[in-house]
């Protein structure tokens, strides 16, 4: 925590974001291997990156970007990225903003997939 060094493994999930304290995507953290369970005995690479004070690590499932309305219109990655462009002073604020936007988008349509969000902010 003191250094801001982050080591990660992503087994085929959506790429995590590091969001700048002033808003906007600083970095995408792509998968480091195929989806877990697809092949036996796969080695996953450990990647490293750096988080500055105030940066937020944002994780989400495809149920966020693929949340759809009753007419089949997806929420989309573009819309998610546009939300993180506005600075958030806390991880909770960012999560609430995304969750409220997804909820407004689906507007009562049946949910077909999990909608999961995770945010961790590096504090001084």
Where helices occur in 66-111 by DSSP H, the ranges are 77-84, 91-106
Question: 75, 72, 58: which is closest to 117 by C-alpha?
Answer: 58
Ordered per-residue pLDDT tens for the chain, 124 residues: 889 999 999 988 899 999 999 999 999 998 888 888 888 888 888 999 999 999 999 999 999 999 999 888 999 999 999 999 999 999 999 999 999 999 999 998 877 788 999 999 999 8
Q: How far apart are CA 97 and CA 113, in angstroms?
A: 20
Predicted confidence at residue 37, as pLDDT, reads: 82
Q: Is the pTM of this model over 0.85?
A: yes
């Amino acid at each position: 925590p003191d250094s801001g060094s982050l080591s990660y493994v992503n087994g085929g999930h959506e790429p995590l974001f590091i969001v700048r304290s002033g808003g906007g995507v600083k970095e995408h953290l792509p998968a480091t291997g195929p989806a877990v369970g697809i092949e036996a005995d796969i080695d996953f690479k450990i990647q490293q990156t750096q988080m500055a004070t105030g940066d937020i690590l944002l994780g989400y499932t495809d149920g966020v970007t693929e949340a759809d309305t009753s007419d089949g219109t997806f929420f989309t990655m573009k819309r998610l990225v546009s939300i993180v462009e506005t600075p958030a002073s806390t991880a909770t604020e960012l999560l609430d903003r995304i969750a409220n936007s997804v909820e407004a988008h689906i507007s009562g349509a049946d949910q077909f997939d999990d909608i999961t969000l995770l945010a961790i902010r590096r504090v001084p």
